[in-house]
Amino acid sequence: MDKHPTITDTGNRGLPLAAALAVIGLFGAMPVLAAGTPAGTLIENTATVSFDLAGTPISLQSNTTTITVVERIDVVVTLQSSQLLVSPSAVDQAVLFRVTNTGNGNETFSLLIDSTLVGDDFDPVPAVPAIYFDSDGSGDFNVGDLAYDPGVNDPVLTADASVDVFLVNDIPGTALNGQVGFTQLTATSTTGTGVPGTSYAGLGDGGVDAIIGTTQGEAAAVGEYLVSNVELSFVKTQAVADPFGGTEPVPGATITYTVTVEVTSAGIASASALSDPIPVYTTYVPDSIRLNAAAISDGADADAGELDTSGAPTVVVRLGDLTQADGIQTVVFQVTID
């Protein structure tokens, strides 16, 4: 009795014995992307069955199935600024946010400011205009930054791309010292929003369907203003000295960090303290801390500072109660590049 199976050719290469044979799926290699497989990508699959017929190896291929990946709409908004110190009646106070397209296709987003949130102590007053793009990527609001015009220059982001956005508010003159005001940026897909799984037929990249993802096509983040009757100027600079007498940041080079703190308004900055972590890939230079040119020991003793090693190594200098009359306070320390 012939132990080999009989194969019937149906014209479309049907495989009646597939359940008894090894079937191998053949896939093309796919890149792994943070936003997932790009919208419009074709996923094709062809199976192959191999067997032996009377001593002759036979290989047959199935038909190829094809699926087109649809677009998933997702977005994330993250706050980039720390709590911003402001004074009453201050104008054009900018908080920085980042809008990231976490979907898998090109998407356009509308932007909205809301400075009337509940839970704060006062409502900041949106400037006109109130939303700007960080055009130069500096992280600082300046005259070169482009104002957002709804419906005219809505940001169009490719998958995984992001754009930095400022919300600009004025601070009411009635805001009191220690009060906090909230401002919120919301980014919304112009294609649509909805519960996850909501479908927008033909509105994805290349005419594929667009499906709302877990963020529901919309995201928001909140920034904070803290009113202070004291304004500080706080600047950090660095200077490099390499082992060869130059200024190249090569391994073994020394970086001297200089931090200046100055009260620039009336009032008292009580219990002021500077905290500066030692950067990764560097090593602190022992006994290099200086406060206004006076040496500060590394240990936790009676002087104004130390190198705190209870966690990540951090230079800590206690400046005390500062007023405008105290002038510029200068802290210096050094590290070497590993």
Among 166, 200, 227, the domain boundary falls at 227
The enclosing domain of 82 has a CATH number of: 2.60.40.10
Is residue 163 in some structural domain? Answer: yes
Task: Give per-residue pLDDT as tens, 59-106.
Answer: 999 999 999 999 999 999 999 999 998 989 999 999 999 999 999 999
Is residue 13 in some structural domain? Answer: no
**pLDDT (0 to 100) of residue 34:** 54
Q: Which of 71, 131, 72, 77 is nearest to 100 (CA)?
A: 77
Count: domains in the chain: 3
Among 69, 97, 130, the domain boundary falls at 69
Same-domain status, 65 and 146: no
**pLDDT (0 to 100) of residue 33:** 45
Question: Does pLDDT of 22 surpass 50?
Answer: no
Q: How confident is the model at residue 231 (pLDDT cuts 50, 70, 90)?
A: confident
**pLDDT (0 to 100) of residue 273:** 96
Same-domain status, 159 and 210: yes
d(CA 18, CA 20): 5
Compute the average pLDDT of residues 307-326: 96
**pLDDT (0 to 100) of residue 230:** 84
**pLDDT (0 to 100) of residue 16:** 37
- Is this prediction's pTM over 0.75? no
Domain extent at residue 206: 73-227
Contact 315, 298 (CB under 8 A): no
Among 42, 69, 96, the domain boundary falls at 69
The mean pLDDT value of the chain amounts to 90
CB count, 10 Å around CB of 107? 28
**In this structure, what token pair is assigned to residue 261?**
């703190």
Is residue 115 in some structural domain? Answer: yes
Question: Does pLDDT of 264 surpass 60?
Answer: yes
Higher pLDDT, 202 or 28: 202
Same-domain status, 49 and 88: no
d(CA 199, CA 197): 6
Same-domain status, 93 and 213: yes
Is residue 223 in some structural domain? Answer: yes
Same-domain status, 239 and 189: no
